[in-house]
């Protein structure tokens, strides 16, 4: 679960900020900075109550500047934690396509294609590839739809080899930009 959270773009940032905070505390504790930090804070608190000789005009400018920078900092933090989703599709929206006469769906974990599944191009039922073996050697992979009964393909070799080829075909479309044409079509 922690691994999943780490791959999630939002949670990984939250975890990273949390870890940095903890390490920051520990490091400053070990370096014995706390007396200095505490001294600074108690000094800051003590001068808050004291009167100063600046005009209201200067105070107004300073207040305006601090509000402005606070808005920028808060805005940036919100953008990091809750990234704005644009309506324009990106390559990350490219999560299905037809290859080798079959329909494939996948998702992205980090930047890589993961959890690839294969579906019947006629009835969209998920196909479970079956290996035909001779002894311990995988001879071929059979693709048959258990819903409509159609027999699709026999591949020489294991399903892993085929899946690897599908991932590379999808990568190729991401690189050359043709993934955008797929999103324009009505997905099966
Ligand atoms: Zn089918």
Task: Give domain limits for the chain.
Answer: 2-81, 91-183
Q: What is the pTM of this model?
A: 0.54
What is the sign, positive or negative, of the torsion defined by CA atoms of 111, 91, 182, 173? negative
Written as six digits, the tokens of 49 are 């109550």
More confident residue, 5 or 169: 169
pLDDT of residue 138: 85
pLDDT at 187: 44
In the prediction, which pLDDT does 2 show?
66
Span from the CA of 143 to the centroid of ligand 1 (angstroms) = 10
C-alpha of residue 92 to centroid of ligand 1, in Å: 27
Distance in Å, CA 76 to ligand 1 centroid: 48
Q: Separation of 7 CA from ligand 1 center, angstroms?
A: 34
Question: Distance, CA 145 to ligand 1 centroid (Å)?
Answer: 5
Contacts of 36 (CB under 8 A, 6+ apart): none
Higher pLDDT residue, 188 or 71? 71
Query: How far away, in angstroms, is 24 Cα from ligand 1 center?
Result: 57
Question: Which residues, including other chains, have CB under 8 Å from residue 105's CB and lie 6 or more apart?
Answer: 95, 96, 116, 117, 119
pLDDT surpassing 50 at residue 119 = yes
With a pLDDT cut of 90, the percent of the chain lying above it is 37
Q: Which residue has the higher pLDDT, 35 or 78?
A: 78
Measured CA to CA, the distance from residue 60 to residue 35 in angstroms comes to 33
The pLDDT, as a whole number, for residue 188 is 42
Q: How far is the CA of 132 from the centre of ligand 1 (A)?
A: 21
Count the neighbouring beta carbons within 10 Å of the beta carbon of residue 14: 13
Distance 151 CA to ligand 1 centre (A): 9
Q: Residue 186: its pLDDT value, please? A: 45
- Ligand 1 centre to CA of 181 (Å) is 25
């Amino acid at each position: 679960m922690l691994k999943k959270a780490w791959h999630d773009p939002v949670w990984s940032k939250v975890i990273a900020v949390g870890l940095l905070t903890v390490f920051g505390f520990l490091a400053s504790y070990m370096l014995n900075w706390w007396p200095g930090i505490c001294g600074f804070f108690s000094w800051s608190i003590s001068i808050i109550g004291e009167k100063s000789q600046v005009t209201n005009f200067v105070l107004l400018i300073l207040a305006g500047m601090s509000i402005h920078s606070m808005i920028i900092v808060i805005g940036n933090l919100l953008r990091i934690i809750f990234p704005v989703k644009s309506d324009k599709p990106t390559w990350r929206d490219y999560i299905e396509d037809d290859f080798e006469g079959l329909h494939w769906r996948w998702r992205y974990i980090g930047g890589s294609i993961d959890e690839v599944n294969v579906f019947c191009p006629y009835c969209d039922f998920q196909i479970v590839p079956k290996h035909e073996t001779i002894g311990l050697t995988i001879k071929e992979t059979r693709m048959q739809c258990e819903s409509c009964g159609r027999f699709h393909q026999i591949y020489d070799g294991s399903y892993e080899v085929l899946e690897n080829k599908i991932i590379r075909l999808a990568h190729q479309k991401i690189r050359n930009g043709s993934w955008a044409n797929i999103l324009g079509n009505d997905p099966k």
